[in-house]
Amino acid sequence: MNVHEHHRHQNSAACCASACAAQTVQPAADVTAIDGAHFARYQIANMDCPNEERLIRNKLDGMPGIVRLDFNLMKRVLTVHHREIDLAEVTRALTAIGMQARLVPEQMPQDQQLPAADNKQKLLLVISGFAACGAEALAWNGYTDTSPVVIGLAVLSIVSGGMPTLHKGWIALKTLTLNINFLMSLAVLGAVTIGQWPEAAMVVFLFAVAELIESLSLDRVRRAVHGLLKLAPDVVSVRNADDRWEELPVRTVEVGAVVRVKPGERIALDGVVIDGQSTVNQAPITGESVPVAKREGDVLYAGSINERGMLEMRVSSDSGNSTLAKIVRVIEETEASRAPTQRFVDLFARYYTPAVVVLAILVAALPPLVFGASFTDWFYKALVMLVIACPCALVISTPVTIVSGLTAAARRGVLIKGGQYLEAGHKLKVIALDKTGTLTTGAPEVVEIVALSNAEHDDLLLLAASLNAHTDHPLARAIVAAGPQATYYRKVRNVESLPGRGVKGEVDGRLVYLGNHRLIEELGICNDQVETRLRNIENAAQTAILLATSEQVLGIIAVADGLRPGARQAVERLKRLGVVTVMLTGDNQLTAQRIGEEIGIAAIHAELLPEDKLRKIRELQAAHGTVGMLGDGINDAPALAQADIGFAMGAAGSDTAIETADVALMDDDLDKLPLFITLSRATRWVLVQNIAAALVIKALFFVLAILGMASLWMAVFADVGASLLVVFNGLRLLRHAGIRTATITR
């Protein structure tokens, strides 16, 4: 329902290698085939950031036979599309630029994750820490910074904890890339050059700790996303050819297999109930707070929980294509379409880092050359500026916040197709709403029974339901649904359809009619009382169905499109958020007016064709700015595409809605609209907090560096602190802290 373009992920010129782990580009897990090309997947343990992506692109793009490179930084997977090349050459090229790459199977498990650090790395980090602290302690207790024992401990710290950083820094120098590894390597080598060995050791150790902590923090984002897949069990009970049940791995179960789900078990795959009744908790998929009754013919989603009865279902999709897997895949893909703030920050960092490097060179050179100041002092100040110049906290502030917000929304049954939509939600001033299937259920239901004889309401409904028991007409189904269970139906004989008028049949030897106004007039039993009642019903935009005998009208059943539960409350919450609601519908004016007034819609536009809805959206945008559109039908597609944010209604299990909507509401709960806006405003506020905190900390340390009041290790500590501050602040969204604050201003 949406034709917004999604722009390719652009490389950031400078960012922290571990800090950008949450950024995701087009995933290798769902590769689009290229005609005549093969593909190979590499899992690269140290590919966390667009900086590594740029290194790889620079190395591989020019190789003969390579067609395209796809990166999934969240899984650390590179997909190489090629035309019959020697993959050993690709492996050697990756190794040459320091990438720890290994080929993985084409059908790599979706939840496969690399640890943030292995035991060897942790041991080396401990050794580096003890050595650095030892060097600092000796320097503070009578030893000089250049004494052999201090230098020995510093060298041990640098070798055990800093070699990966120095190696990456050397690669960055060869490729002329100004990144954090280059800046940190330059700071360490500069400190060694002027004899500040304890400082150099402490810088190496603190930076290694920073990388580990940041990596662990960002792994939490990865786990939050991939933890959704853990909602579905790994094994399932499948009926085999001998009609017996056996436990099989979920990934081996094929579409069409019959699966049994016991009470209390999680459902492993999408499917349709073929036997049994139960209630199912669908909250992990749709966000519904109340369990849903399921019986034969109803749809089940992987990850939901069977609460009461035994269910048998026929599998409708394999594990890689379940609704749950699609949700995870969409979240992984969203960062390819980057939020405006994220694009601004990356562009800012691209120019900010080189500018600070030039400034540091001037700080190191001008005072000694112009004023005769101490070169060692000003060179040291320049090194402090280089360390604090790292844009880690600034660059990491956006992707962590955006991914956390996207994951929090998915947990509530709101699937957002890109960071730009999550961020743009705070600017929504108007939301246009379709009526049928959106504000209403899209299915008629009995709203009133008018008795015109001595018969009771229940008797009239029983008689009407008995006549309609075997009819598929929507109005007939509404009457049957409102009536008693099938075991209580009256016996009807000689049932005959009356095209364009209704139906008739014999009940207890008496001929009974059920139909429209025209049928009653043809029978000659219409009178002023009936006409008055019919006029009142029609003025209320309801459909009148009359029950009669050959002599008199027994009663009138009023049927109307049912109001969706929670619609009125959702519109009221939107009003409290300052969002104006507008109805755009193709239905008649009377019906639209009745529904709109009952719900509390601010403006109602009825009898619209698809092109009319499109025109109205454009008018709203011209008058109010950012406009959203919520719909569920094909006729809503032009308006959904024109709107700044298109919302799809009831998208659970729908490939089209999940793949094309800007925001897909995974069930029919309209309350997810105000939830989305509240989350968007909370996300925006966290983004502002993070960017402000990062810039203020850096500005403060620039001043301290110029005044000579900051050391190298203090600069690293400040940079680490800023990065961790924005990471943990962004991760707050995973706990829905912002969602509960419905009064956050735009």
pLDDT for res 744: 34
- Residue 394, pLDDT above cutoff 70: no
Mean predicted confidence (pLDDT) in 259-276: 90
Alpha carbon of residue 418 to chain centroid? 7
Specify if 242 maps to a domain.
Answer: yes
Q: Is the dihedral of CA 515, 518, 522, 526 positive or negative?
A: positive
Angle, helices 474-482/457-468, rounded to nearest 10 degrees: 130
Task: Pick the last residue of a domain from 287, 321, 355.
Answer: 321
Reduce the DSSP state of residue 372 to 3 states and report it: coil
**Residue for token digits 């939490």?**
220
The total of structural domains in the chain comes to 3
Residue 6 banded pLDDT, cuts 50, 70, 90: very low
Task: Compute the distance between CA of residue 508 and CA of residue 488 in angstroms, rounded to an integer.
Answer: 15
Catalytic residues: 434
SS3 assignment for 308-357: CCCEEEEECCCHHHCHHHHHHHHHHHHCCCCCHHHHHHHHHHHHHHHHHH
What tens digit of pLDDT does each residue of 340-388 get? 666 666 667 667 777 878 888 888 889 998 888 888 888 888 888 877 7
Task: Compute the distance between CA of residue 123 and CA of residue 101 in angstroms, rounded to an integer.
Answer: 23
- Residue 575, pLDDT above cutoff 90: yes
Sheet with strand 258-261: strands edge to edge: 245-249, 235-239, 258-261, 311-315, 271-275, 299-300
Where are the strands (E) in 350-508, listed by range? 414-416, 430-433, 440-451, 492-498, 502-507
The DSSP element (H or E) to which 597 belongs, if any, is: helix 589-599
Could you count the other beta carbons within 10 Å of the beta carbon of residue 48? 27
Mean predicted confidence (pLDDT) in 641-651: 82
Residue 502, beta-bridge partner list:
498, 515
**Conformational region of residue 254, where left means phi above 0, alpha means psi within -120 to 50, and beta covers everything else:** beta
Task: Compute the distance between CA of residue 52 and CA of residue 100 in angstroms, rounded to an integer.
Answer: 11
Specify if 121 maps to a domain.
Answer: no
CB 296 within 8 Å of CB 273: yes
Q: Could you tell me the two tokens for 245?
A: 């049940």
CATH of the domain at 248: 2.70.150.10
Task: Compute the distance between CA of residue 209 and CA of residue 713 in angstroms, rounded to an integer.
Answer: 12
> Of 161, 160, 178, nearest to 169 (Cα)?
178
CATH of the domain at 106: 3.30.70.100
Specify if 126 maps to a domain.
Answer: no
> Of 643, 601, 249, nearest to 421 (Cα)?
643
Task: Compute the distance between CA of residue 417 and CA of residue 424 in angstroms, rounded to an integer.
Answer: 12
Task: Compute the distance between CA of residue 387 and CA of residue 546 in angstroms, rounded to an integer.
Answer: 83
What tens digit of pLDDT does each residue of 93-149 get? 888 888 888 888 755 444 455 555 567 777 888 898 899 889 888 988 878 888 899
Task: Compute the distance between CA of residue 582 and CA of residue 254 in angstroms, rounded to an integer.
Answer: 45
CB 56 within 8 Å of CB 100: no
Mean predicted confidence (pLDDT) in 204-226: 67
Task: Compute the distance between CA of residue 463 and CA of residue 475 in angstroms, rounded to an integer.
Answer: 15
Task: Compute the distance between CA of residue 65 and CA of residue 85 in angstroms, rounded to an integer.
Answer: 6
Task: Compute the distance between CA of residue 395 and CA of residue 398 in angstroms, rounded to an integer.
Answer: 6
pLDDT for res 392: 63
The number of CA neighbours under 13 Å toward the Cβ of 515 is 23
Specify if 539 maps to a domain.
Answer: yes
Residue 273, beta-bridge partner list:
313
Task: Compute the distance between CA of residue 379 and CA of residue 367 in angstroms, rounded to an integer.
Answer: 10
**Residue for token digits 């373009």?**
5
Q: Could you tell me the two tokens for 193?
A: 């050059």
The DSSP element (H or E) to which 664 belongs, if any, is: strand 663-665
Task: Compute the distance between CA of residue 183 and CA of residue 172 in angstroms, rounded to an integer.
Answer: 10
- Residue 167, pLDDT above cutoff 60: yes
Task: Compute the distance between CA of residue 485 and CA of residue 315 in angstroms, rounded to an integer.
Answer: 30
Task: Compute the distance between CA of residue 430 and CA of residue 643 in angstroms, rounded to an integer.
Answer: 10
Residue 730 banded pLDDT, cuts 50, 70, 90: confident
Specify if 352 maps to a domain.
Answer: no
> Residue 237: is it exposed, middle or buried by C-beta count within 10 angstroms (0-12/13-18/19+)?
middle
Question: What does the DSSP assignment read for 535-596?
Answer: HHHHHTT-EEEEEEESS-EEEEEEEEEEEPTTHHHHHHHHHHTT-EEEEE-SS-HHHHHHHH
Specify if 355 maps to a domain.
Answer: no
Specify if 267 maps to a domain.
Answer: yes
What count of residues does the chain have? Answer: 746
Contacts 24+ apart (CB under 8 A), 242-248: none
| Sequence-ordered list of residues with C-beta below 8 angstroms from that of 433, at least 6 positions apart, any chain | 439, 581, 582, 583, 584, 601, 629, 630, 631
CB 303 within 8 Å of CB 233: no
pLDDT for res 622: 92
Look at 282-291, 553-562, 724-733 and tell me which has the smallest mean pLDDT: 282-291
> Residue 92: is it exposed, middle or buried by C-beta count within 10 angstroms (0-12/13-18/19+)?
exposed
What tens digit of pLDDT does each residue of 686-703 get? 988 988 888 888 888 888
CB 391 within 8 Å of CB 309: no
What tens digit of pLDDT does each residue of 55-98 get? 788 788 878 888 888 877 666 788 888 887 888 888 888 888 88
What tens digit of pLDDT does each residue of 527-542 get? 888 888 888 887 777 7
Residue 745 banded pLDDT, cuts 50, 70, 90: very low
CB 715 within 8 Å of CB 721: no
> Of 715, 30, 583, nearest to 326 (Cα)?
30
Reduce the DSSP state of residue 275 to 3 states and report it: strand
**Mean pLDDT for all residues in the chain:** 78
What tens digit of pLDDT does each residue of 607-619 get? 887 788 889 999 9
Could you count the other beta carbons within 10 Å of the beta carbon of residue 740? 9
> Of 239, 259, 334, nearest to 302 (Cα)?
259
**Residue for token digits 């025209």?**
518
CATH of the domain at 503: 3.40.1110.10
Q: Give residue 29's domain range.
A: 1-114
Specify if 180 maps to a domain.
Answer: no
Task: Pick the last residue of a domain from 520, 536, 563.
Answer: 563
What tens digit of pLDDT does each residue of 539-562 get? 777 778 889 988 888 999 888 877
Task: Pick the last residue of a domain from 294, 321, 348.
Answer: 321
